[in-house]
Amino acid sequence: NAGVTQTPKFQVLKTGQSMTLQCAQDMNHEYMSWYRQDPGMGLRLIHYSVGAGITDQGEVPNGYNVSRSTTEDFPLRLLSAAPSQTSVYFCASSYSRWNTGELFFGEGSRLTVL
Amino acid sequence: ELKVEQNPLFLSMQEGKNYTIYCNYSTTSDRLYWYRQDPGKSLESLFVLLSNGAVKQEGRLMASLDTKARLSTLHITAAVHDLSATYFCAVDKDSGAGSYQLTFGKGTKLSVIP
């Protein structure tokens, strides 16, 4: 099993550009989520999904869009990148909340917006 | 709004010494997680604590949860250099089955020096 796979690992964008961060998991996990990590801020939840076709907002959803068409994939879209979105983005998945709820993280995607 | 506070945020300790990292949170929850992050790397799950009084141990690390005090501790025994990392606690805003929404502390950066 590859676990949680994120691509790309590094990306530089100009203000106003759009892009999609990809996330895929091969563990048949119901739950997937996106967090951003900024220095001194810990991790903050952007969006999450409890299953295919179901998504919801987390703590900091503005400027981001998500969809979940399959159990395996949960892409994060930046529609018009801003410098404030410079961050490290982590995708995480979990088997089920009826289990331990333990999150398994991808390797992260480092995004710089100029 | 759930708040999670860790202290200290920075910890420099000598090899062989003991120390405790504290995680306080503001809501009633019995679902708490500890993660480790090495520089530039992903987050690795250390402990899952799912009930009042839960205690888990792995090597030189021991975690406990007191839901009445809304407090978890991560105790380090006889620190070694390999434990140098940033440690995060995370709390699920809902007890019982959980919500999938974790709030993270800002992290404790631990440096173990010879």
> How close is the nearest chain B Cα to the Cα of A71, in Å?
16
Q: Which residue has the higher pLDDT, A65 or A96?
A: A65
Chain A residues with CB under 8 Å of B100 CB are 31, 33, 48, 50, 94, 97, 101
Reported for B46-51, long-range contacts at CB under 8 A and 24+ positions apart, including other chains, are B46/B74, B46/B87, B47/B74, B48/A100, B48/A101, B48/A102, B50/A100
Averaged pLDDT of chain B = 93
Strand duo A10-13 + A109-113: pairing: parallel
pLDDT average, residue stretch A14-42: 95
pLDDT digits (tens, 9 = 90+) for B52-76: 899 999 999 999 999 999 999 999 9
Mean pLDDT of B91-108: 85
pLDDT of residue B100: 76
By mean pLDDT, which of A8-22, A91-105, B24-38, B48-62 is the weakest? A91-105
Block residue for tokens 């631990």: B110
Query: Confidence class of residue B29 from pLDDT cuts 50, 70 and 90?
Result: confident
Q: Which residues contact A68 (CB under 8 A, 6 or more apart)?
A: A32, A49, A51, A52, A53, A54, A55, A74
**Alpha-carbon distance A58 to A42, whole Å?**
15
Q: Is the pLDDT of residue A97 over 70?
A: no
* CB–CB contact A50 B33 (8 Å): no
Give the containing element (helix H, strand E) for A54.
Answer: strand A54-57
Answer positive or negative: Cα dihedral of A107, A108, A109, A113: negative
| Residue B106 touches chain A, beta carbons under 8 Å | yes
